[in-house]
A and B are shown apart, each in its own frame.
Chain A
Amino acid sequence: MWIVEYLWLIPVLPLLAAGVIAVTRQPHRSMACLLAIGSMAAAFGLSVAAFLATLGHPAHAGAWRMVRTFPWCQVGEGFIEFGWVLDPLTAAMLVMVTFVGLLIFVYSKGYMAHDGNMTRFFGFLALFAAAMLGLVIANNLLLLFICWELVGFASYVLIGFWYHKPSAAAAAKKAFITTRVGDMGFLIGILWLYCETGTLVFYDEAGGGCLEATAVARLAGQSTLIGLTVAGAIALLIFCGAMGKSGQVPLHVWLPDAMEGPTPVSALIHAATMVAAGVFLVARVFPLMAALPPGAAGVSGALEVVTWVGALTAAFAACIAVAQTDIKRILAYSTVSQLGFMMLGLGTGGVVVGMFHLITHAFFKALLFMGAGSVIHGVHDEQDIRRMGGLRKAMPITFATYAAGMMALAGVPVFFSGFWSKDAILHAAHAFPSSQGPFFLGLFGAFLTAFYMTRQMAYVFFGTSRAGSSAAGAGHAADAHPAEPAASGPASAHESPALMTVPLAILAVFAVGLGFLGTPAWPWFQEYLGGRALEGGWHELLSGESLRIMAFSTVIVAAGIGLGWWLYGRRPVTRADDLDALERFHPRGFGLLRNKFLVDEFYEATFVRFNARLAWLSDLLDRWLWGGVVQLAGYAVVGLAWLSRFIDEYVVNLGFDAGCRGITSGAGATSRLQDGQVQGYLRVIGLGLTVLLLLLTWGCAS
């Protein structure tokens, strides 16, 4: 199958595009854009081919996958082998990432048209796309980790794209460091897995991969501390990485701040793809996650943790989103909440349920972010929803597509994809054997989702325009486009250009249509991913259990939208500094929600301050201790040099001079012997003669 041989082209084409764009100068930015868009389109084409290749296999034949590996480097006797795998999970993610990515690239060309750094933007976008696609097709956990870190790096440079703004630079740093904390656990998990199984390759032709049955069974059989199996412990460590990347509760703090980046970045990275990488990772290593010790039943420990973390995140983030006033921040917390839902789905219902919600969420969240970008563009870079309003008339296409996205996110029944995917999650949570806690947290989260999205729609699109009316709140109008002047006066809002609205429309179609691929009546998606034939049909849809859950969630959604409408839609606020309805009702609670439950402040007071102290101590050590030692060595050398000079000047030189003087005086004395007086020479000869005679007579006599 040719596509399996050439699957590596999918990440490599955007990588090559990124390489070329890196050396492109600003005057050629159109070429750079088109190169990036072209590479993404090619990757999309190849992904569709890969997808079609995976379709031809009957579902009841079991899990189908094709693998290619190649040796990367030699380690002792064996090799580290990198490679790629093509299975339904991979194909679905490939199609989603390339399609949404392509639409966002096209959208960015319009959105960033006035920015002076468009070339750099597209270069990093292409690099991100390459890394994400590499992560998706990787068949080796190490290769996945490499792409994981690359994706994190791309996210860093894209969040901090407008690096002259201190808030953007700080947000980029925060994102990278927070995900790094999670990656620490991930790395330990990788090392442990390698230690236990001797390989990091997922699937092998010979059945020796670390995710295949033999390895997993062996890992699940061993027990380690706290009563976890080794498989479970490794799975939890890997989940740490997923927690960081996908913004689960303790490590979610970077996602809302990441909204400092341009809106296309938020749409691509922090809605559709990068944050989904954590969910994808859990889905990828699901055999490890779900492994039970032989003879045990129920849910594995790792999946319990995943479920509870997901449920708590879903509820927690939804609470915070209720009180936010920045249009992108509401969507950011919504993303955190939905990621929690995805983890909940993975934990309770398996890969299929989680991935279904991931795919639908990617489309409607990207749609919502791009719609928000269109709104920001239309109201001249205002991001505070209290200063928007009445945009329904001014920006109809944006309104219509945003409404479609909102209803998909809230889970309005039947016609919108979010309903079907969220319903699948709630259905699985209801069937969770350990506890109904996650189910109720999920319901609460769904209720709040509908509520805050209605609140946002009411503030932004309904009522009358509040643009430029009174300077309420801190000024932050320069958030989006530093290149453009800040909002000035009640300038009228305008609809965005076609380059931005057409992708919105396309995504809206998918936000509606994708849901029909996974309904209980026709569980195509579940069959495709799960590799098993499922009973579909109308009776399945209308059966007691399924119908009860659907009805329940419909009631919850209706309640959420209804409450939102009653509080915000009936009498929309007229002035920007009017208090929020909830704020009037319970100011302290609202304040706590608006301040994000003070998590950031807590981290600041503990970890960050500890780190600062440590840095101060290290500086002290470095400056005084190590620096002192170096200074001492320097002084010692200087002292030696002085001593050497002293010896040279006073001892050697003087000695030498004295010697020379001796020789000179000796020579002077000797030369006085030769005074040119002939008689003197004769006297000496006479003396010598006398001595000789005496020697001869007395010496020889004996």
Chain B
Amino acid sequence: MTTLQHYLLLSAMLFGIGLAGALVRRNAIIVLIGIELMLNAANLNFVAFWRFGPHPEAVTGLMFALFSIGIAAAEAAVGLALIIAVYRHYSSTHLDKLDSLKG
């Protein structure tokens, strides 16, 4: 039997991996992937709490997750557009090189 804790543990692990990717990797696209992972982990959390919650037959959880995936997709598009614009300017996706806002 998979319980709620298994799903939460999975989503936490996914979130952690996504966070680690966003914080550590040098490539901007990998950072985006990490952000997507974090979003998906949150989706998983939503679904898990919906399934093991009081009204598993309603579609609230699914709708929520669908909206979240839609927004994640829009946001990924914007992010990729930004990365392409930055690449055109700096000729690199190496995040360490994008430090012109240095204080």
Which residues from chain A contact B19 at a C-beta distance below 8 Å?
Answer: 686
- CB of B99 within 8 A of CB of A679, answer no
- CB of A675 within 8 A of CB of B99, answer yes
Which residues from chain A contact B39 at a C-beta distance below 8 Å?
Answer: none
Task: Decide if B31 is an interface residue (CB 8 Å cutoff).
Answer: yes
- CB of A677 within 8 A of CB of B23, answer no
Which residues from chain B contact A74 at a C-beta distance below 8 Å?
Answer: none
**Given A682-B23, A683-B23: A675 and B95 within 8 A (CB)?**
no
Give, as a whole number of angstroms, the nearest-CB distance from B93 to chain A.
12
Give, as a whole number of angstroms, the nearest-CB distance from A672 to chain B.
8
- CB of A676 within 8 A of CB of B23, answer no
Contact with B along A536-567 (1 / 0, CB 8 A): 00000000000000000000000000000000
Which residues from chain B contact A682 at a C-beta distance below 8 Å?
Answer: 22-23
- CB of B101 within 8 A of CB of A676, answer yes
Complex Cα gap A682–B95 (Å):
12
Task: Decide if B3 is an interface residue (CB 8 Å cutoff).
Answer: no
Complex Cα gap A392–B99 (Å):
131
- CB of A679 within 8 A of CB of B100, answer no
- CB of A674 within 8 A of CB of B103, answer yes
**Given A677-B95, A678-B98, A679-B95: A671 and B103 within 8 A (CB)?**
yes
- CB of A676 within 8 A of CB of B99, answer yes
Task: Decide if B96 is an interface residue (CB 8 Å cutoff).
Answer: yes
Which residues of B from 48 to 103 have beta carbons under 8 Å from A?
Answer: 95-96, 98-103
Complex Cα gap A679–B28 (Å):
10
- CB of B102 within 8 A of CB of A674, answer yes
Complex Cα gap A673–B103 (Å):
8
Contact of B24 among A671, A674, A676, A679 (CB under 8 A): A679
Give, as a whole number of angstroms, the nearest-CB distance from A272 to chain B.
108
- CB of A676 within 8 A of CB of B98, answer yes
Complex Cα gap A131–B23 (Å):
115
Which residues from chain A contact B103 at a C-beta distance below 8 Å?
Answer: 671, 673-676
Give, as a whole number of angstroms, the nearest-CB distance from B12 to chain A.
12
Contact of B96 among A673, A677, A686 (CB under 8 A): A677
- CB of B100 within 8 A of CB of A676, answer yes
- CB of B99 within 8 A of CB of A677, answer yes
Complex Cα gap A686–B19 (Å):
8
Give, as a whole number of angstroms, the nearest-CB distance from B16 to chain A.
10
- CB of A675 within 8 A of CB of B102, answer yes
Which residues from chain A contact B24 at a C-beta distance below 8 Å?
Answer: 679
- CB of B22 within 8 A of CB of A676, answer no
Give, as a whole number of angstroms, the nearest-CB distance from A68 to chain B.
102
How many pairs, one residue from A and one from B, have CB atoms within 8 Å of each other in the complex? Answer: 30
- CB of A679 within 8 A of CB of B102, answer no
Which residues of A from 637 to 683 have beta carbons under 8 Å from B?
Answer: 671, 673-679, 682-683
Which residues from chain B contact A678 at a C-beta distance below 8 Å?
Answer: 95, 98
**Interface hub of A671, A679, A683, A686 (most chain B Cβ within 10 A):** A679
Give, as a whole number of angstroms, the nearest-CB distance from B27 to chain A.
11
Which residues from chain A contact B31 at a C-beta distance below 8 Å?
Answer: 679
Complex Cα gap A683–B24 (Å):
9
Complex Cα gap A683–B22 (Å):
9
Complex Cα gap A686–B31 (Å):
14
Contact of A686 among B23, B100, B102 (CB under 8 A): B23
Which residues of B from 1 to 57 have beta carbons under 8 Å from A?
Answer: 19, 22-24, 31
Q: Which residue of A lies closest to B99 (CB)?
A: A676
Q: Which residue of A lies closest to B101 (CB)?
A: A676
Q: Which residue of B lies closest to A675 (CB)?
A: B102
Q: Which residue of A lies closest to B100 (CB)?
A: A676
Which residues from chain B contact A673 at a C-beta distance below 8 Å?
Answer: 103
Which residues from chain A contact B101 at a C-beta distance below 8 Å?
Answer: 674, 676
Complex Cα gap A674–B99 (Å):
9
Q: Which residue of A lies closest to B19 (CB)?
A: A686
Q: Which residue of A lies closest to B34 (CB)?
A: A682
Complex Cα gap A673–B101 (Å):
12
Complex Cα gap A686–B20 (Å):
10
Give, as a whole number of angstroms, the nearest-CB distance from A112 to chain B.
101
Which residues from chain A contact B96 at a C-beta distance below 8 Å?
Answer: 677, 679
Contact of B23 among A674, A675, A679 (CB under 8 A): A679
Give, as a whole number of angstroms, the nearest-CB distance from B99 to chain A.
3
Complex Cα gap A21–B96 (Å):
105
Give, as a whole number of angstroms, the nearest-CB distance from B53 to chain A.
21
Which residues from chain A contact B100 at a C-beta distance below 8 Å?
Answer: 676
Complex Cα gap A22–B101 (Å):
92
Complex Cα gap A686–B34 (Å):
14
**Interface hub of A673, A677, A683 (most chain B Cβ within 10 A):** A677
Complex Cα gap A107–B23 (Å):
127
Complex Cα gap A679–B19 (Å):
11
Which residues from chain B contact A674 at a C-beta distance below 8 Å?
Answer: 101-103
Give, as a whole number of angstroms, the nearest-CB distance from A458 to chain B.
124
Complex Cα gap A683–B99 (Å):
16
Q: Which residue of B lies closest to A690 (CB)?
A: B19
Complex Cα gap A686–B100 (Å):
22
Complex Cα gap A682–B18 (Å):
13
Complex Cα gap A682–B38 (Å):
14
Which residues from chain A contact B99 at a C-beta distance below 8 Å?
Answer: 675-677
Give, as a whole number of angstroms, the nearest-CB distance from A424 to chain B.
123
Give, as a whole number of angstroms, the nearest-CB distance from B11 to chain A.
15
Complex Cα gap A676–B24 (Å):
15
Complex Cα gap A671–B101 (Å):
11
Contact with B along A418-455 (1 / 0, CB 8 A): 00000000000000000000000000000000000000
Give, as a whole number of angstroms, the nearest-CB distance from A502 to chain B.
115
Give, as a whole number of angstroms, the nearest-CB distance from A694 to chain B.
15
Which residues from chain B contact A675 at a C-beta distance below 8 Å?
Answer: 99, 102-103
Give, as a whole number of angstroms, the nearest-CB distance from A589 to chain B.
119
Which residues of A from 4 to 29 have beta carbons under 8 Å from B?
Answer: none
Q: Which residue of A lies closest to B26 (CB)?
A: A679
Give, as a whole number of angstroms, the nearest-CB distance from A616 to chain B.
82
Give, as a whole number of angstroms, the nearest-CB distance from A687 to chain B.
10
Complex Cα gap A677–B101 (Å):
8
- Residues of B with Cβ closer than 8 Å to A? 19, 22-24, 31, 95-96, 98-103
Given A673-B103, A677-B95, 6 additional A-B pairs, CB 8 A: A675-B103, A676-B98, A677-B96, A678-B98, A679-B24, A683-B23
Q: List 14 A-B contacts (CB under 8 A).
A: A671-B103, A673-B103, A674-B101, A674-B102, A674-B103, A676-B100, A676-B102, A676-B103, A678-B95, A678-B98, A679-B24, A682-B22, A682-B23, A686-B23
CB-based closest 9 A-B pairs = A674-B103, A676-B99, A676-B102, A676-B101, A671-B103, A683-B23, A675-B102, A682-B23, A679-B95
